[in-house]
Structure 1
Amino acid sequence: MPNIHHMPIEIGFKHCDPAGIVFYPRYAEMLHDTVEHWFNHGLKIGFNYLHTTRNMGIPMVNLQVDFRIPSRLGDVLDSQLVVKKLGRTSMQMLVRICSPDNDVRVEGRLTVVFASLGKISSVEIPEDFKALILPYVHESAEA
């Protein structure tokens, strides 16, 4: 069974509008935070290492988000990341932000491209990175 990366999210005041409901742009930050958390804790490829030692970045080139159920101040959610497709230079991920009952509150489909920071151009995903990513590939993950 492929791996799923989990990241807890506590909905704080900073996430909410005056009504205490998560302001929708904050979800884009949560989706990015999940990807960065996965790199740091799941893959053990820290963003500092990625950027400074390997001179690479993973800019997002596509983001599609479905907002299903509102979240409120004080909610504790579980962000779940799987890889839908691992290409030569890009990767498509599915991130679901869920309630404790596993109801999907928000679903994001993200595509990132591996890029050289020096040349500002796409590069092939390094083999050592692919080996770490492969256990998270869920080809049957629905979007």
Structure 2
Amino acid sequence: MPSFKNDVQVRFAHVDAAGIMFYPRYFGLINDLVEDWFAQALDASFRQLHLVERRAVPTAHIEVDFHTPSKLEDQLVFSLFVERLGSSSCTLRIAAHCGAEARLSGKLILVHMDMETGKSQPWPDDLRAAMTQWQGPSSSEASQGDNA
């Protein structure tokens, strides 16, 4: 399944007094992943989307499971794929690994909206077509595949 990836080194600014990555920092890195996916994979930079076209993709839902703590100078690979593409929203599956070790997994739901009205709007055809290139199996399809 295709997934978009970002490599991230855990920096001093990411860790807390216990020497492990402070969990809110993960959310900033998840947002970086989404922003890079839009710019690099979908050819829709946040500058163009928000400032020029006056559209936004706010996060409507996010859930994350933390598996193993990350420490200073760990090399993480963040990845995402589209689990579900609705008319004006999408569900993304996200993960972060350090080598073969899972650090986090989860999902987020983005909503495509008009910034002037604050209301959701359908994905434009070009953006929808680009997003479909990153679709993987839904969680129900994935779990059925595991049992087959």
Equivalent residue, structure 1, for 2:122: 124
Deviations 1:68-110 (A, max 9, x none): 0110001011001101000001000011011122x21011210
TM-score by length of 2: 0.90
1:124 aligned partner, one-letter code: P
Overall identity of the aligned pairs, in %:
30
Greater share of helix residues, 1 or 2? 2
Distance 2:129 2:14 in 1: 35
TM-score by length of 1: 0.93
Residue 25 of structure 1 and its aligned partner are, at CA, apart by 1.0
1:36 aligned partner, one-letter code: E
Q: Which runs of 5+ in 2 are unaligned?
A: 144-148
Does structure 1 conserve the Cα–Cα contact (< 8 Å) formed by 2:84 and 2:138?
Answer: no
Q: Which runs of 5+ in 1 are unaligned?
A: none
Equivalent residue, structure 1, for 2:92: 93
1:132 aligned partner, one-letter code: A
Equivalent residue, structure 2, for 1:6: 5
Give RMSD over aligned pairs. Answer: 1.4
Does structure 2 conserve the Cα–Cα contact (< 8 Å) formed by 1:31 and 1:108?
Answer: no
Distance 2:77 2:17 in 1: 23
Q: Size of the alignment, in residue pairs?
A: 141
Distance 2:19 2:40 in 1: 30
Distance 1:129 1:74 in 2: 35
Distance 2:106 2:6 in 1: 15
Q: Does 1:114 align with 2:112?
A: yes
Residue 19 of structure 1 and its aligned partner are, at CA, apart by 2.0
Distance 1:96 1:49 in 2: 27
Residue 140 of structure 1 and its aligned partner are, at CA, apart by 3.8
Distance 2:102 2:138 in 1: 17
Does structure 1 conserve the Cα–Cα contact (< 8 Å) formed by 2:111 and 2:120?
Answer: yes
Q: Which runs of 4+ in 1 moved over 6 A?
A: none
Which secondary structure does the structure 2 equivalent of 1:93 belong to? strand
Which secondary structure does the structure 2 equivalent of 1:128 belong to? helix
Equivalent residue, structure 2, for 1:135: 133
Does structure 2 conserve the Cα–Cα contact (< 8 Å) formed by 1:86 and 1:92?
Answer: yes
Does structure 1 conserve the Cα–Cα contact (< 8 Å) formed by 2:62 and 2:107?
Answer: yes
1:107 aligned partner, one-letter code: S
Alignment of 1:17-96 (within 5 A): 17-96=16-95
